[in-house]
Amino acid sequence: MSQENVELIQRVYEAFNREDAAALAKLSDEDLEFVSVFAEVDTAGATHQGQELWASYFARIHETWDEWRAEDLRVFDAADDNVAAVFRLVGKGKSSGIPVDREIGLAYTLRRGKLWRMRVYLNPAEALEAVGLSE
């Protein structure tokens, strides 16, 4: 297991929870591509690109969510700078007020020690499969 890869994802998780766009930009490759369903109504996802995506991404989250945070992070290192993370997304919908507590997964590909490709999966097993792992 690459301890550096695991530690990078842990730093990303911490910066994400405190909405630190500047810290996330420093942890991201200039060509970062992030496919997410967190902020989107369309669960097919949206693609966000570049280091500067973080500020606009958090703005989109606040359009959809009244409260949100990630909890219970588990990181799985795979070969070739691929990493998966599984955690719970806990929050409350802005317009519905409905509480959400759902386990999700992210698949990461790193480049030069930074986030390069990220994709959210509503089924955590799919994130593990995307990096060549299984539960």
Residue written as token pair 């570049």: 50
Q: Which two tokens stand for residue 28?
A: 């991201």
Task: Give the pLDDT mean for 36-47.
Answer: 56
Q: How confident is the model at residue 131 (pLDDT cuts 50, 70, 90)?
A: very high
pLDDT tens-place string over residues 64-97: 888 889 999 999 999 889 999 999 999 999 899 9
Q: How many of the other CB atoms lie within 10 Å of CB of 87?
A: 21
pLDDT at 42: 43
Q: Work out the percent of the chain whose per-residue pLDDT is above 90.
A: 67
Instruction: Tell how many helices (H) and how many strands (E) occur in the chain.
Output: 4, 6
Domains and CATH numbers, the chain: 3-130 (3.10.450.50)
| Beta carbons within 8 Å of 82's beta carbon, 6+ residues apart | 107, 108, 109, 110, 130, 131, 132
Q: How confident is the model at residue 48 (pLDDT cuts 50, 70, 90)?
A: low
Region class of 129: left (phi > 0), else alpha (psi between -120 and 50), else beta: alpha
Task: Give the pLDDT mean for 22-27.
Answer: 96
| Beta carbons within 8 Å of 10's beta carbon, 6+ residues apart | 73, 75
Q: How confident is the model at residue 38 (pLDDT cuts 50, 70, 90)?
A: low
Rounded to an integer, what distance in angstroms lies between the CA atom of residue 114 and that of residue 117? 9
DSSP code, position 132 = T
Indicate whether 44 pLDDT > 70: no
pLDDT at 55: 87
- pTM for the model: 0.86
**8 A C-beta contact, residue 48 and residue 56:** yes
